[in-house]
Structure 1
Amino acid sequence: MMKISPSIKVLFLFIALSLVLVPTLIACEPKPEQTPDPASETQDLPSTEAPAATASPATERPKVLNVCIANEPSSLYRYDGRNSLSKQSVFTALYGFHDGSTLLQSVPDISQETVSPEEGMTVLTADGTVQVLRKGTQVYATGQPEVTAWDTDLALDMQRSTIIYRLYDEQLWSDGTPLTAHDLLYTYHLLRRLELPAYQWALERTDKLEALDEQTLKWTGIPGFVASDPMAFFWQPLPAHLFEILPDEDLLDHPMATLTPPGWGAWRITDWQKGAQLNFERNPNYIHVAAHQNGFEFLNFVIVPDAEEALTKLEQGECQILDKSYQLESLDEARLYDLATKYQLVIEDFEPVGQLVFGIRPASYDVGFDSATVVRQDYFGTPQVRQAVAGCLATFDIATSIFNRDWIAHSWQLAMDTQPFVPPVVWTDAKGRLTDLGWVIRDGSDGVRVADGVPNVEDGTPFRINLLTGQSAQSQSMANLIVQNLADCGIAVTHTSLPAEELYAPGPDGVLFGRQFDMALVNWGKLPFPLCELYTSGQIPGPSTHWIGTNIAGLNDETFNYGCMNGNSDEMMIQHVPAVPLMPQIRVWLASPDLDLTELIRYELLSELKPVVP
């Protein structure tokens, strides 16, 4: 039986929890984040005379920007395993862009090189899993799509990626200390020790990170892995000059890490009034002042847990922004339209997190397949059928069905791209393609297609399948659209909605991770890796993997694995169609009409907001 490394188990736990907890368009009402005992965190903090959270007279140029947040962060330590929306909001002030790109002179290029792996090296194997190279380990040699079993006397080259990161020469921490490659190396080794789930995917695919000089780092990936996103391996640095003298566990409670961490963004923290607000002033050591710092001298994050109270403060000018932590996207559409007409409602964070997953290979097929006796016919065994079904779904404009709402139309930004939510069309005539594949509609039938010469399907079997979803309003709405449009293609779909704990229950008994479904709407959350990696063969949940894995479709295809591992995620998803992206996640925040928002504004550009000058 194959052993699962602890890091893979931790990563899978992170993904599985994301399936249940990630917010979708119809989100839960926000709840205050748990606040630690104030007595345990009371510190003597540096103080300034920053103005309190009060409205500025309309006749004066405002110098204070007040942002209402729904929850008080429990800590500002970046690597404590908690990342609430309020914490992300505050981090925008401290650090700017969440990917750390403002530290770099330019977005780095990814280079490829060949290496002759040696026994004991960590490699990415042919099934997409990270393993230690041993005799018999199956890998892909450079330029060869056929699987090779490695041996000590086998001359074999594998491809790996390298990335060069160049920091700005003049980059400083907000306390005036130079921010250098040493800070990133310290952070990298700290994360290796902490083994936090959110970072395991990138760390497992990293062979080494080294400093070439004070401003330059080189990242080297493991053999067999071809990187596609350079920022996935750029870990946000911590100030080594303050933290490396402390034990790792002390950082969870030390005030320098949790209350007053230095940053590199447009603002620096000056005071934290527990339960009330966090005060910031301009960062005098910010190196992008000319391009990214506005006319506001002070910034306050005002803690207002009640959304209605926060809206009152926005109306009265006591707050100029209500951030994403209020999850305003969960309000009813009439209320959202009213807010969009009164204020500036900004929609962002479009992520195609929801997918319609095909049950390609149910777990029952693992012990053998006989179409005459099997419980479920092999409806989705060929990619051509899956492509045709995706074509049926593309006959209606998914993006329009999701976004055709008054409040969204009123707040629409030209930069928004809805194309990721439209299923890719391989066959323009999906109905004709189904007929060509043997799924025919017979004269006098009820309009449901039946099998006639379909591989691994008994002739006369009707194309009747089940669709599983969660119970959110958006899942219900999307399921109805799927049922209607597949019916128009001659496919009868029965929809069943289940509580999240039942839908995402672990295998072998759970319907998804036990691979016991025909089709399912699944919300994966925002992924740190290319979409295709969910469906490589090494991720199939089953007895050999202790039912741990994300490939609930059961797709087992070497061509897919090879293409995915060589940076062709989109092409592989279109050709093999283990799933179809359908549902987005969006976030909403509100701004006062007194703020001058650019057309391409997003919350990470908080430092660029400017007041409207009368």
Structure 2
Amino acid sequence: MKKTSIPYWLFLLLFLIPACLGLQDGTETPAPTPNLDSTPTPQASPDDGIVVCMGQEPNSLYPFGELNTAARNVLAAIYDGPIDNVGYEYQPVILTQLPSLENGDAQIVKIAAQSGDSVLDAGGNLIELTPGSRIRPAGCRNDDCAIAYDGVTTIEMDQMIVAFRLRPDLAWSDGAPLTADDSIYSFELQREADADDYLIQRTQSYEAADAQTLQWFGVPGFIDSTYFLNFWQPAPRHAWSEFPSDQLPDVDVSSREPIGWGPYAIKEWIPGEAITLEKNPHYFRIRDGYPRTETIRIRFIPDPDTALSEMIAGRCDLIEPTLNLENHVGLLKEMQDAEEARMFAATGMSMEWLGFSLAHASYDNGYDVGRDRQNFFADTYTRQGIAYCLDRGTVAASVLYNLTDVPATYLPSNHPAFNSDASPIPYDPQIGVSLLEQAGWQDTDEDPSTPRRAVNVKNVAYNTPLLLKYQTTSTAQRRQVTAILERSLAECGIGLEIEFVPPNDLYAPGPDGPLFGRQFDLAQYALGAEGSEPPCGWFTSDGIPSESNSWSGSNITGYRNADYDQACRAAQFSMREDSAYLASYRQTQIILAEELPAIPLYSRLRIAAARPDLCGFDLDPSANALWNVEAFEISAACQN
């Protein structure tokens, strides 16, 4: 799996806007649900195959393009791995092992650097070494030991060298051998396309040592905690090299019928209807009895009610999470109790937030209490008081059917880097009111139904009501959530003016967009992370959208904390093997829990449904829904 680095603000846009648009369809007036009284037992799919129903059609099958979830699902069946991310842990698939410092396939060596060389500076920036450059010499892992280069001497810096060893039994689905050269070809394609420039720019060289071994050399100073992912997913040079690289995203051989090494190969793609996959006879696990099923038919059904009806009728064996089933959990539980289906639910690295606007754009030229939006959230007591007045438990129970817990940090509780000492702030209006009063918000009219007013609140004009604009999109789920939170906040004397904003307007770029332009009071939004690395960068000061960075960045709250920035940077510059790795990530969680620039509301759900006798399906929190499609089969052994 090649390692990618998508800016968090871009991931927010790519992930969230399509999701919100999809959730809006049909949520205000739910379609009639299937009648369980006449539910037949699903029958076996024809031709020894399994039918997977997805909510969208792949936008392309070119593996190095900008792919939607449906495309990634299909490609998981064509390309097994090359490295799986299961349970927030990485597993080799077509490599004999994951490289590590312990097994010797990764090493840190000293390399001489001199003026004019490309290196990474102490801030993680790719630079040309010049006099005064602040760098980390060999053995230095934090800012305390960084030095200024004198421009004269040759200095030793650390360089990472990583070896990746392919399994010797790999072949493409057309029978041609898969070799290290195919990974080199992939690297060349993506370098020419300027794709994944973060890693490519930090790669000094990537070369084949032999037919099954690749070596990655990092730029001096680049200490990468996920070095074991710096492997480029192979591409079939023998099948694609006749086409210029800029044509590959469009030609059928690479975008509609790509060959792979996985359990299945493309048999047929009927646009708007289905893709049929057939067993790959050259799959490296074929002798172990995989894949278990001869064919997989992937149907495109955008409407969840239709998909559920098709499953009841025996024409869908699996409904995977691109079909939004969140509004059908009650029905699915009934079907599961009746042994007519099995429901799967998982949370992951995508989380719903309530963000405080700590640095409103109107403050950029200095805060004026008489002119600018009132600085409601300057006092930590105010933010903490609001947190205690949020009934997130009812949200989890009534909106999310207790399928997700109230989060304590920006990481799910089953993540390896989660701070196990953290606990979510409970719903306790009494404590919330006490904190608000400590901040200076008083019930001046002794009427609990009206908002509190500022009596002695830091940076807030006297007698200002605690009346906040709350902006989010109008999906059914978010409407339910805002209704619950509005009631619970009102109990503490916090008033809301709720505004449901079209997604394209809410997530519009700055300076005009309310989120990325930092022109809101409270905002409910989602953030998602690629991979399993803790996304502490969500709240670093360099991620604040502003004119200087073209209004890009995920830290729409405007939160600034030097200690947090340092802890996040220390974690990102540490090796997983170092004690500082976990310690620094946990420190970021401790700081955020105290400072509360935003409050995690709930982890977003991924829900799937399957016929009760479908074996092998495993909805994992960090993996693709079809990550182990080779294990799918219909068998009475899996019947509830």
Asked if residue 468 in structure 1 is aligned to residue 467 in structure 2, the reply is: no
The structure-2 alpha-carbon separation of the partners of 1:443 and 1:328, relative to structure 1 and needing over 3 Å to count, comes to closer
Please say if residues 25 and 584 of structure 1, whose CA atoms lie closer than 8 Å, have aligned partners that are also in contact. no
SS across alignment from 2:517:
coil
Report the equivalent of 2:543. Answer: 539
Q: Distance in 2 between matches of 1:542 and 1:531?
A: 20
Report the equivalent of 1:605. Answer: 628
Q: Distance in 1 between matches of 2:167 and 2:57?
A: 33
Percent identical: 28
* Counterpart selection for 1:572 from 560, 575, 588: 588
Q: Distance in 2 between matches of 1:322 and 1:556?
A: 43
Task: Name the Cα RMSD after superposition.
Answer: 4.6
- How much does 1:521 deviate? 1.3
SS across alignment from 1:590:
strand
Q: Distance in 1 between matches of 2:198 and 2:19?
A: 18
Q: Distance in 2 between matches of 1:164 and 1:317?
A: 48
* Counterpart selection for 2:49 from 64, 79, 83: 64
Report the equivalent of 1:256. Answer: 253
Q: Distance in 2 between matches of 1:560 and 1:226?
A: 20
* Structure 2 runs not aligned, ≥5 long: 28-40, 85-91, 405-410, 572-583
Q: Distance in 2 between matches of 1:392 and 1:117?
A: 57
- How much does 1:248 deviate? 0.3
129-138 or 268-277, larger mean C-alpha shift: 129-138
SS across alignment from 1:22:
helix
- How much does 1:194 deviate? 1.7
Report the equivalent of 2:502. Answer: 499
* Structure 1 runs not aligned, ≥5 long: 1-6, 31-54, 410-415
SS across alignment from 1:580:
strand
349-358 or 147-156, larger mean C-alpha shift: 147-156
Report the equivalent of 1:170. Answer: 169
Give, as a single letter, the amino acid of the residue that structure 2 aligns with 1:84. Answer: N
Q: Distance in 1 between matches of 2:145 and 2:236?
A: 44
**Deviation sequence 1:97-123 (CA, Å, 0-9, x none):** 585542233444477857768556353
Give, as a single letter, the amino acid of the residue that structure 2 aligns with 1:103. Answer: I
Q: Distance in 2 between matches of 1:216 and 1:210?
A: 9
Q: Distance in 2 between matches of 1:168 and 1:400?
A: 47
* Counterpart selection for 2:603 from 580, 584, 592: 584
Report the equivalent of 1:104. Answer: 95
- How much does 1:600 deviate? 6.5
Please say if residues 391 and 485 of structure 2, whose CA atoms lie closer than 8 Å, have aligned partners that are also in contact. no
Asked if residue 88 in structure 1 is aligned to residue 72 in structure 2, the reply is: yes
- How much does 1:346 deviate? 2.9
Please say if residues 467 and 494 of structure 1, whose CA atoms lie closer than 8 Å, have aligned partners that are also in contact. yes
Q: Distance in 2 between matches of 1:561 and 1:112?
A: 28
Give, as a single letter, the amino acid of the residue that structure 1 aligns with 2:165. Answer: R
Q: Distance in 2 between matches of 1:210 and 1:189?
A: 11
* Counterpart selection for 1:284 from 277, 281, 285: 281
Report the equivalent of 2:234. Answer: 237
The alignment's TM-score, normalised by the length of structure 2, stands at 0.73
Correspondence 1:200-239 to 2 at 5 A = 200-203=197-200, 206=203, 208-220=205-217, 227-229=224-226, 233-239=230-236
Please say if residues 278 and 300 of structure 1, whose CA atoms lie closer than 8 Å, have aligned partners that are also in contact. yes
Report the equivalent of 2:512. Answer: 509
- How much does 1:91 deviate? 1.7
- How much does 1:509 deviate? 2.2
- How much does 1:151 deviate? 5.0
The structure-2 alpha-carbon separation of the partners of 1:294 and 1:506, relative to structure 1 and needing over 3 Å to count, comes to closer
SS across alignment from 1:364:
helix
* Counterpart selection for 1:563 from 560, 567, 590: 567
The structure-2 alpha-carbon separation of the partners of 1:313 and 1:158, relative to structure 1 and needing over 3 Å to count, comes to same
Report the equivalent of 1:478. Answer: 481
Report the equivalent of 1:121. Answer: 118
Asked if residue 352 in structure 1 is aligned to residue 355 in structure 2, the reply is: no
Q: Distance in 2 between matches of 1:273 and 1:505?
A: 35
Correspondence 1:338-487 to 2 at 5 A = 340=336, 341=338, 342-348=340-346, 350-370=348-368, 372-373=369-370, 375-381=372-378, 386=383, 389-393=386-390, 396=393, 399-404=396-401, 425=423, 431=432, 434=435, 438-439=439-440, 441=442, 445-446=446-447, 455-457=458-460, 463-487=466-490
**Deviation sequence 1:401-426 (CA, Å, 0-9, x none):** 44217xx69xxxxxx97778999548
Q: Distance in 1 between matches of 2:238 and 2:400?
A: 48
Please say if residues 112 and 162 of structure 1, whose CA atoms lie closer than 8 Å, have aligned partners that are also in contact. yes
Correspondence 1:73-84 to 2 at 5 A = 73=58, 75-81=60-66, 83-84=67-68
Please say if residues 344 and 619 of structure 2, whose CA atoms lie closer than 8 Å, have aligned partners that are also in contact. no
The alignment's TM-score, normalised by the length of structure 1, stands at 0.75
Correspondence 1:45-64 to 2 at 5 A = 63-64=48-49
SS across alignment from 1:559:
helix
Please say if residues 449 and 462 of structure 1, whose CA atoms lie closer than 8 Å, have aligned partners that are also in contact. yes
- How much does 1:191 deviate? 1.5
Please say if residues 125 and 131 of structure 1, whose CA atoms lie closer than 8 Å, have aligned partners that are also in contact. no
The structure-2 alpha-carbon separation of the partners of 1:73 and 1:495, relative to structure 1 and needing over 3 Å to count, comes to closer
Please say if residues 161 and 226 of structure 1, whose CA atoms lie closer than 8 Å, have aligned partners that are also in contact. yes
538-547 or 301-310, larger mean C-alpha shift: 301-310
Q: Distance in 2 between matches of 1:390 and 1:154?
A: 55
Please say if residues 27 and 330 of structure 1, whose CA atoms lie closer than 8 Å, have aligned partners that are also in contact. no
The structure-2 alpha-carbon separation of the partners of 1:488 and 1:189, relative to structure 1 and needing over 3 Å to count, comes to farther
Q: Distance in 2 between matches of 1:169 and 1:322?
A: 36
- How much does 1:65 deviate? 2.6
Give, as a single letter, the amino acid of the residue that structure 2 aligns with 1:500. Answer: P
Report the equivalent of 2:180. Answer: 181
Q: Across the two proteins, how many residue pairs are aligned to each other?
A: 569
SS across alignment from 2:164:
strand
Q: Distance in 2 between matches of 1:230 and 1:585?
A: 29
Q: Distance in 2 between matches of 1:504 and 1:539?
A: 16
Please say if residues 42 and 313 of structure 2, whose CA atoms lie closer than 8 Å, have aligned partners that are also in contact. no
SS across alignment from 2:93:
helix
Please say if residues 442 and 455 of structure 2, whose CA atoms lie closer than 8 Å, have aligned partners that are also in contact. no
- How much does 1:575 deviate? 0.6
